[in-house]
Amino acid sequence: MLPVGIDKISFYTSNYYLDLRTLACTQGTDPEKYYVGIGQEKMGMPAHDEDVVTMAASAASPLFDDEQSKTISTLLFATESGIDQSKSAGIYVHRLLGLNANCRVVELKQACYSATAAVQMACALVARQPETTVLVIASDVAKYELDTPGEATQGCGAVAMLIKANPRILEIDPQVGNHTEDVMDFWRPNYLKTAIVDGKYSTKIYLKSLKKAWENFTLASDVSFTDLSHFCYHLPFSRMAQKAHKHLSRVNKSSLEPEQIEAQIEGSLLYNKLIGNSYAAALFIGFTSLIENSNSDLGGKKIGFFSYGSGCVAEFFSGTVVPGYQQQLFKEQHQNMLECREEVDYEQYITLYNAPDPQNGESVIIDVDTTGKFRLAAIANHKREYVER
Ligand code: CAA
């Protein structure tokens, strides 16, 4: 069977961020609670003319040129902050990126897990038709009520991946471990703009699901804990991954020292600390962070991935980094994007938080605010109008 997996990967986040010291200072909270306790420093805030569609298109646009776009047979769009109950956000992206009319598009949802479902489905499609390419995009805005424990774990971002046969970044193993359970740890009814979350419970269910998914993985795969050199976890906040990896190390009775255990995940946390939670995109932005920031050559190394989507579905899977992967990365562009962002003060943050949200068909023209390639220019007659900036 031909190897299938990630051939290219690129991410995008908005041009604004709030430093969590500013949030802590306004709330009268010790900033160390955020910087150390949850392990987060900044959170991305979407500009007024930015949403999951514009972020998704901006993430994907560096991945291919016009000629290569003709081989993309399917666009799978994973999100839990979608803009329509019926039409896939991916169709707007399909037009903005000039994809072929013969490329099918569909949106997938299962909280933060859906991007992993999309990647696995993409691998299955490519295995059936090895000459095709599937474009997987995950894009989300993590939004909680103000003055709740979740507020400091907001963020936004999108990640785009080309899934191909003989991939040049990561060969994904077909064996996976799953755990699904009907729980109410985090959810967002259709009539709400922000998620409802039972925070402490959600962290317990995350850890329980990790153990269950891992146990299921060991039944399917010959890959053992010691075969895995690095790990990428779903990242609601970086401290969650640190707790998760310690938990998995204990479950496997690892003989590694605490610093060695930490070294297996630290590269994957760097971008998340600066962006915040990006829900479905978070795991794969974490993987990008790992491969773009590792001091050693990861070529040939086995990586373990844990995907978690509240509600809940969890999956453990593995993959091998392809030697020479460094040539496929957009490291400089990503790091420039993060460095060029503008810090906002608390009042600007509140203005961005309360972005215009017309619900009665009224017309709203939105000023240019994003520095990204695509923008939401207007909303009128219940229709969203996207343009290239
Ligand atoms: N200095 C250093 N550390 C400090 C501190 C200080 N001054 N003050 C507090 N801390 C530490 C605490 O000791 C605690 O550490 P431990 O977890 O090791 O005990 C940590 O900071 C957090 O403090 P609290 O437990 O008091 O924080 P909280 O209750 O106010 O909020 C939270 C934590 C419940 C996770 C909250 O951020 C939340 O609800 N987040 C959203 C839900 C979430 O992300 N859940 C994760 C699993 S679900 C999932 O993964 C899906 C998803 O994407 C949402």
- pLDDT tens, 257-303? 999 999 999 999 999 999 999 999 999 999 999 999 999 999 999 99
Dihedral, CA of residue 223, residue 321, residue 260 and residue 232, to nearest 10: -80
Pocket test for ligand 1, best of 33, 205, 207, 232 (most atoms within 8 A of CB): 33
Task: Note the pLDDT of residue 149.
Answer: 95
Task: Note the pLDDT of residue 2.
Answer: 94
- Whether 112 is in the pocket of ligand 1, judged by its Cβ within 6 Å, is yes
- Whether 307 is in the pocket of ligand 1, judged by its Cβ within 6 Å, is no
Q: Would you say residue 1 has pLDDT above 90? A: no
- Whether 34 is in the pocket of ligand 1, judged by its Cβ within 6 Å, is no
What's the average model confidence in pLDDT over 19-32?
A: 97
Cβ neighbours of residue 54 closer than 8 Å, sequence gap 6 or more: 370, 372, 374, 375, 376, 386
Please tell me whether residue 291 adopts helix, strand or coil conformation: helix
Going through 146-276 in order, the beta strands assigned E by DSSP cover 155-165, 170-180, 186-187, 196-197, 228-233
What's the average model confidence in pLDDT over 198-202?
A: 97
- Whether 149 is in the pocket of ligand 1, judged by its Cβ within 6 Å, is yes
Predicted structure pTM score: 0.98
What's the average model confidence in pLDDT over 116-132?
A: 97
Give the tens place of pLDDT for each residue, 36-63.
999 999 999 999 999 999 999 999 999 9
Residue type, 385: E
Question: Could you tell me the distance, in angstroms and rounded to a whole number, from the CA of residue 37 to the centre of ligand 1?
Answer: 7
Confidence tier at 356 by pLDDT (50, 70, 90): confident
What's the average model confidence in pLDDT over 111-139?
A: 98
What's the average model confidence in pLDDT over 354-364?
A: 91
Q: Which positions are annotated as active-site residues?
A: 80, 112, 234
Pocket test for ligand 1, best of 43, 109, 186 (most atoms within 8 A of CB): 186
In the sheet where 4-12 sits, what is the strand order? 104-108, 72-78, 133-142, 155-165, 4-12, 170-180, 313-321, 302-309, 228-233
Q: Do 71 and 132 meet the contact criterion of CB atoms below 8 Å apart?
A: yes
- Whether 17 is in the pocket of ligand 1, judged by its Cβ within 6 Å, is no
Give the tens place of pLDDT for each residue, 56-104.
999 999 999 999 999 999 999 999 999 999 999 999 999 999 999 999 9
Q: What percent of the chain has pLDDT over 90?
A: 98
- Whether 30 is in the pocket of ligand 1, judged by its Cβ within 6 Å, is yes
Give the tens place of pLDDT for each residue, 307-339.
999 999 999 999 999 999 999 999 999 999 999
How far apart CA 94 and CA 74 sit, in angstroms, is 10
Question: Could you tell me the distance, in angstroms and rounded to a whole number, from the CA of residue 332 to the centre of ligand 1?
Answer: 32
Q: Do 209 and 186 meet the contact criterion of CB atoms below 8 Å apart?
A: no
Question: Could you tell me the distance, in angstroms and rounded to a whole number, from the CA of residue 26 to the centre of ligand 1?
Answer: 18
Q: Do 109 and 188 meet the contact criterion of CB atoms below 8 Å apart?
A: no
Please tell me whether residue 161 adopts helix, strand or coil conformation: strand
1 compared with 265, residue with greater pLDDT: 265
* Residues linked to residue 180 through DSSP beta bridges, in sequence order: 313
User: Helices 266-275 and 238-251 meet at what angle, rounded to 10?
Assistant: 150
